[in-house]
Each structure stands twice: as C-alpha cells, then as structure tokens.
Structure 1
Amino acid sequence: MGDLEVVEICAGAGGQALGLEKAGFEHALAVELDTNACNTLRENRPSWKVAQGDVADPETWNPAAYEGVALLAGGVPCPPFTIAGKQLGATDERDLFAWAVELVNVVKPRALLLENVRGLSLPRFAGYRQHVLDRLAAFGYQASWQLLQASDFGVPQLRPRFVLVAMREADEAAHFAWPATVGHVTTVGESLEELMASDGWEGAGAWASKADRIAPTIVGGSKKHGGADLGPTRAKRAWAELGVDALGVADAPPKAGDTYKVGPKLTTEMVARIQGWSDDYQWTFTGRKTTRYRQIGNAFPPPVAAAVGGAIMRAFNLEGERAERRDVEHDPIYKALRSADEFITAERLGRLAGVTDTPELERRISMLSRDFEIEIEASGPVVAYRLGGFKAFLGQAEHTRHEQFHKHRTRIS
C-alpha cells in the first residue's frame, strides 16, 4: 500500500472521499452497495477502483489485500443508532460499526476513521462504545470519539456527526488533535443566494436576507420511503422560517417573476451546497432527481471530512503539540462485568461501577442487555450478573445479518 492511501467502506456518493482527497489521501479502493452512488464515484474519479456490493461479502473485496493501508475510513449505516429510529444497535441487521472495528485487525491501517449519527453518543450506547474502545486497544490502537457539528466547519447546516479516530502508532496518536473550527458560521442565504438568482429571480436578495441561519439537517431518506423530501414535520417548519418550501425538491431554480407563499423549493444543486459541496468541493451527481437527492442527503459533508482527514495527516507528520492520552470510560458497568470471570452480585457491581442506586443499576443493565447477552443468577434476594456475548455482527458466517440483508436487499440504500 502507498504511504497515504485510503480504503473507504460504505463510501456513498463521495462526501467523505472528496474531503479525504482534499486532505491529501489517495483512494486505493472505495466500496459501496448502491448502484447510483457507485456511478457517481466513477463519474467523478474514473481512476479510482470502486467495488460495488455488500461490503461484508468476501466476494465484493478482499480486506487482507489492503493490509498496511494508511487509513481505513467509512460511514457505516446510521439506522441502528438514529434517534428517529428504534435504536436497535447491535441487533439491527444493518449495523456494521462493530464489524468495521474488527476489520482493523485484518487491514491493520495506520489510522481508522468512522463516522455516524449523534445517537451513537447517547447513554443508550455507552456499552457499545466501551466495547469498541476496548477492542481497538486490544488491537494496539489508541482511539477517541468526538461529536462534530458541520456548521463549525463552514457547512450551512445543523448536522452533528459522531466521529471515531484511532491511531496505531503511539507517537502519531499523541499528536492527534481534533480539528479547530473555522470561526465563521455560513448561513443558508449566503450559501444559496447566487443559485437562487441564477435564472433571473428578482427576490433572491430579499430571500437570502431572511435565510440568515443554518439549515436543519438534510435527510437523505431510503428506498423504503417516497421521493425527495427535506425531512419530518419539525424540519419542514424550520425550512419554512428560512423561506424554503420543504415539500419536495425543485427541478430548476426560481425564474423571473415567480412568487411564493412560503418560498421556493431547493434544487439538488442547492441541497448539495447546503451539504458542503461548493466551488472548493466540486462534484457531479448521476441519476434522476430522487436518487441524486438521496446520494447528497446521506453523505458526510466534504469540509468536515477534509478537516478530520487533515488532523489525521498532521498526526502522521507528528505536527503540533504532543498530548498524553487519557482513557475515557464510557460504561463502568460494562467494564466491571467484562473484567470478571464469574457472576458479580448487584451490590458488588454497583460498588465497582460507582452506581449505588439499585433502580439506576437495573436500568443500565437493561440498556446494556440490548447489545450484549447478560446472564442473571438469583439466589433469594441476591441477584448476580455475568457478561455474555456481543450480539453484533462481527463477520460470523452464521449470523442472522446475512438472511436479513438478502431479504431486504432491494430496500437498502
């Protein structure tokens, strides 16, 4: 592998890919399931090797062939963790986060970059996050999580992303620092005034003055739902306050003489601008309007990917001040259970984890049991617990993920 090559899994239509390219990485491989997204990748970067198919299927690509690559990156599926969903986590057949972490032990990259939705940062997934950190430590990597706001990096949108970065070399890990914000918050009006005026609409200036905030999070949606749409009811209200009709996406910008009750609809080009594509991040999206919108809406904003990629690159070059890494404990109950080879009474577990309130301890164990098998042993009033297996798909040949994946293949995007 080249010194600065990246293998990107679940690459989508290229938001993270373009950002990492801007940071100085070269793509050794991009793996993506969706046909339209693969077409977009090939349209923009004909020289890239793009593997289309299920990323967890060995017939799609051979991870061992990329051992030693500089960076393993990806934006694995979000539905297992999204606040708007059921938050099934490890039991969701779409969950590939834990599998991607196990992939590190095969590919052995210098660094790992994975991004997902804010939901993964919530208490519901404390045990899941602890498992991830512990597995990476077992592989010899130092890892940390950070919640990044796209609007802090020049993207005119409320788009929080929970990002994991892990480094293999201790010196490089010590030099890794999360990227600094750009300082200036770009508004929707600043971003889109030129595009709104591009076909002669006289109201563009007044519209831009009203659209003086960042946008709600763009929701790409999936094949299970209808056409292009800017989000749920609350998001539509926020768009209306910005002077945007969120009930669909327009084929063209407003024309001279057009008038609106709420405001114009956005075109896919405008949605891409809201998502961080611009003159500095140029990209062409293939397919019909709805597929273009989904590709754009499901992407990792390129400026955010560039900022994180740049931070990783600086760590590779040992730039910046060296910092001592401190272990962050996400779930002391999980850690206490994991360190024991036998059942632990609730009383002792509470002491080890610092949780003295019995109902709170039971609530957190219940939450943990959604992702892990928890064995319970009761002897009269004394209850004891032992940590069992992790329920997530880690590459097991017999895992239910395979059956569910093929059953819902046509609806997965």
Structure 2
Amino acid sequence: MELEMATKDLTTVEICAGAGGQSLGLHLAGFRHTLAVELDRDAAGTLERNLARLARTTGQTAPVVAVGDVADQSVWEPSDHTGIALLAGGVPCPPFSIAGKQLGSSDERDLFAWAVETAGVMQPKAVLLENVRGLSMPRFAGYRQAVLDRFAELGYSADWQLLEAKDFGVPQLRPRFVLVALQEEYAPFFRWPEPIGGVNTVGDALYELISANGWTGAAAWAERANRVAPTIVGGSKKHGGPDLGPTRAKREWRSMGVDGLGIADAAPGPETHHDALPRLTNEMVARLQGWTGAEYAWEFQYGKGHKTSTYRQIGNAFPPPVARAVGLAIAAALRQDAAATGRTGFKPEFHDEVYRALRSHGGFISVIRLHEILGGALSVDDIARRINFMTRDFEMEVRVRAGVDSYRLGEWRAFRGQDDHVRHEAFAAPQKRSKIS
C-alpha cells in the first residue's frame, strides 16, 4: 500500500530512452511511465518488452513506446502529456563528447535546448536530463547557462551535477553530467543523492559469469581485476562494431586482464589457457552497467548484427542504480519529504557569469569592461577564451573601435523546434537518418 501511495502521482514521460537504463532506475524509484520515445528500433524493442513486464508486476497498463525522432510531432505530441510529474531523458551525447568534435549546437543530434522548450510545453513538476562529462567542461559554459536561464524563465530552479557510477555500486567510473530542474514550489526540497560508500570491483561483479564455463584461470583473473572499470563506450551508428573504447581505455582493460578489442559470444571454457586475456560478453558488460541481480533484470532485444546492436544498447545506457538514486531524490522533493530550508542542494559550480553579463548588457561590450563588471573574478584571457567558446553555440557580433574588440551576444544556434533549423536536413534523408544516434 505504501508503494502504491508513493507512486500514484509519479508519472513520467521519457525521451531518448535508449534500451531502458534510466527507465528501470526511475521505475525502482517509484515512477511509472506513461510514454517512452526512442529513435533506435532495437533499443525501443528492448524497452517495450521490459516496460510491459514491469507494468504487469505492478498491475498497470503497459506504457506506449513510440519509435522515431523525438522532435517529430508525428511520433508524439508533447502538448498531449501536460502535467506529468517528471520529464526525463538521456539526450544524445556525441555533441558534447570529449571523444568527438564537441560541436554542441552545430551537431544535428543536439537536443538539449529542444528538451528545455518541450518542458515548457508540458510543464512537468520536474525534469531530469543526463549526458556525458564533456558537457561539464569550460567549452560549454555558455551553453549550460543558457539552459539554466531558460529554465528560470519557465518557472524552474535547475542545476547540474557530475555523478560517477562507481559511487552508487556500479563497478565502473562512468561520470555522467546530470541536470535536474524543479518547479519553484518543489525546488527547496531537493538534495543531490549522496554516494552509498564502498566500491564494487570488476572482479567481484564478473567472477560468476567469467567462471561459468569452467575456466581454470577465473579466480586469478578476478583477483587481478580488483578495481572499477573505465567508462564503457557504446559508440554511435557512425562508427564500427563493439569494443571497449579508445586506446587508453583498452590499455586499462588489458591491465585488468581483459582483451578490449571486441565482445565475446561466451565466457572462456576449460580449454582456455589460465593466463589468457578473455573478452567480455554482452551479459558481462550489462552487469558492469548496473544490470545485476533479480531487481535489475533486463532482457535485450536483438536486431540485425545482434552483438553490435546489443552492445550499443548496453554501452550507451544510464546505469540503472544511478538513475534510481537521482529518481529517489526527485521523488522525495515532489513529495516534499524533508523540511524546506529556503535553499536547494544546488551549487553554482557549473554556472557562467560571462554569458550572463553579455546577455544582460544586451549591447556591445569589451573584454576589459566585462573584466571590470565581474570584479576581476576572471582574468582577461579567461573571459576572452569563454567568449571564443560561445561563438560556437551562439551568434556573436564583433565591433572594432580604436583597435579594441567589443562583442554582442546574439541568438542561440541550438535546435529548439525551429521550422528552418538545419537539423531538419539531417533527418530528411533516410540514408542520413539511419546513421544518427
């Protein structure tokens, strides 16, 4: 009965849902999906099957899983889902990934600004969006501030936090940059989740699976793999088959006794040399992402080239235990569980005063003048560098007088639903759309 009372009003719509890492975590935190939207058909198949199973266990109707471009109104209409408790999603990572070009607003896959505008249409009580660590870097300081300021205009308090999966029982580093926004009445009750303590190692997590076929080297291997894994990289459809990441990550895997050049079909058997470097199976990778034990059980749907498809579904996921921890924190805020203190658990760590100064000034302003306005908190060189970063995501006019450059901040280039945005070209041609992830 307590669970029913706790979850009755915790409805959620999830966008860019992937194969369901965030979905499962939110379900375990008490949220119940009314809709999930995903572009990739294999991931959507996984999501539909598992959400239907979860719905049966709670005696509820299975949510709709819509397949297609989340920004296409023929796939779903945000205005049909107003007043839900939570809008959640893992909008595409490549625009911000350190491993990529960090194109930000210039990448056709960038949906962060669109997600903010969608929240304005739907007016959920809370918003949860997660992405890669690259979005936390100085390159995107102005972009982040634009997101926060737009949320404020829509009546939300919002902030970012860098969370590492290893702090929530997942045997992997996997830092994720998480944004939480809440309507003003709920914001004072929010606190970011605290690490649970203790470390789950690769060896501990995978010994059962690596030894399942009788490999004699399993015990020694597990002892060697006595630390957390580097971040698992799922990759995108623009690149090749499954492996465990870039060269640096593969070296780290090798030091733990893992061949990171590919994914195995099965665990090593008794014929495998005890000093061998085995490859991980998809089941093992899923366990390293937090899908472990009956509570986190998940069945992946296979498509064409199923090993690659399955690995991509797993590797791109938000670890369910981390999503659960954030979901519980949001649920507590929505229930106003804690005594309000008049201030949230939000911190100014990822705010950008240069963007705000440019935006509030409205006209042309020099770096020297910005330095004065900011009270010398940032050096002239740092301000100039931040402005240079902003030119990649915003229109920026430059005026030169007496040899001094002055700047005026213009429109955000990000896709927010504009009919004339270049993003539409990428999604218009099927051959291009099939490579978008």
What is the TM-score of this pair, normalised by structure 1? 0.96
Structure 1 Cα separation of the partners of residues 8 and 124 of structure 2 = 11
Deviates more, 1:274-283 or 1:333-342: 333-342
Q: Who is 2:3 aligned against?
A: none
Q: Secondary structure at the match of 1:385?
A: strand
Match runs of 1:50-89 below 5 Å = 50-89=65-104
Q: Who is 2:4 aligned against?
A: none
Q: Who is 2:311 aligned against?
A: 293
Q: Specify every segment of 5 or more residues in structure 2 that has no aligned partner in the other structure, as ranges.
A: 1-6, 53-61
Q: Who is 1:30 aligned against?
A: 36
| Shift in alpha-carbon separation, 1:359–1:144, aligned structure 2, 3 A | closer
Structure 2 Cα separation of the partners of residues 148 and 285 of structure 1 = 26
Q: Who is 1:217 aligned against?
A: 231
8 Å CA contact 2:216, 2:274 repeated in 1: no
Structure 1 Cα separation of the partners of residues 237 and 334 of structure 2 = 39
Number of equivalences:
412
Q: Who is 1:21 aligned against?
A: 27
Deviation at 1:409, TM superposition (A): 0.7
8 Å CA contact 1:245, 1:262 repeated in 2: no
Residues 1:150 and 2:177 are matched in the alignment: no
Q: Secondary structure at the match of 1:257?
A: coil
Q: Secondary structure at the match of 1:45?
A: helix
Q: Who is 1:10 aligned against?
A: 16
| Shift in alpha-carbon separation, 1:33–1:193, aligned structure 2, 3 A | same
Letter of the 1:385 counterpart: Y
Q: Secondary structure at the match of 2:296?
A: coil
Q: Secondary structure at the match of 2:361?
A: coil
Match runs of 1:86-105 below 5 Å = 86-105=101-120
Which of 115, 127, 136 is equivalent to 2:130?
115
8 Å CA contact 2:85, 2:125 repeated in 1: yes
Structure 1 Cα separation of the partners of residues 184 and 286 of structure 2 = 36
8 Å CA contact 2:192, 2:326 repeated in 1: yes
8 Å CA contact 1:115, 1:162 repeated in 2: yes
8 Å CA contact 2:217, 2:275 repeated in 1: no
Q: Who is 2:435 aligned against?
A: 411
Deviation at 1:367, TM superposition (A): 1.1
8 Å CA contact 1:23, 1:313 repeated in 2: yes
Q: Secondary structure at the match of 1:310?
A: helix
Q: Who is 1:138 aligned against?
A: 153
Structure 2 Cα separation of the partners of residues 208 and 345 of structure 1 = 59
Letter of the 2:11 counterpart: E
Q: Secondary structure at the match of 2:434?
A: helix
Q: Specify every segment of 5 or more residues in structure 1 that has no aligned partner in the other structure, as ranges.
A: none
Deviates more, 1:200-209 or 1:176-185: 200-209
Which of 364, 372, 379 is equivalent to 1:351?
372
8 Å CA contact 1:110, 1:169 repeated in 2: no
Residues 1:128 and 2:143 are matched in the alignment: yes
8 Å CA contact 2:90, 2:131 repeated in 1: yes
Q: In the TM superposition, what whole-angstrom CA distance separates every residue of 1:221-249 from its partner, at most 9, and x where no partner exists? A: 12222211111111111111111111111
Deviation at 1:26, TM superposition (A): 0.4
Structure 1 Cα separation of the partners of residues 404 and 105 of structure 2 = 29
Q: Who is 2:360 aligned against?
A: 339
Q: Who is 2:200 aligned against?
A: 186
Deviation at 1:291, TM superposition (A): 0.6
* Percent identical residues: 59
Match runs of 1:169-208 below 5 Å = 169-170=184-185, 172-208=186-222
8 Å CA contact 2:218, 2:274 repeated in 1: no
Residues 1:230 and 2:244 are matched in the alignment: yes
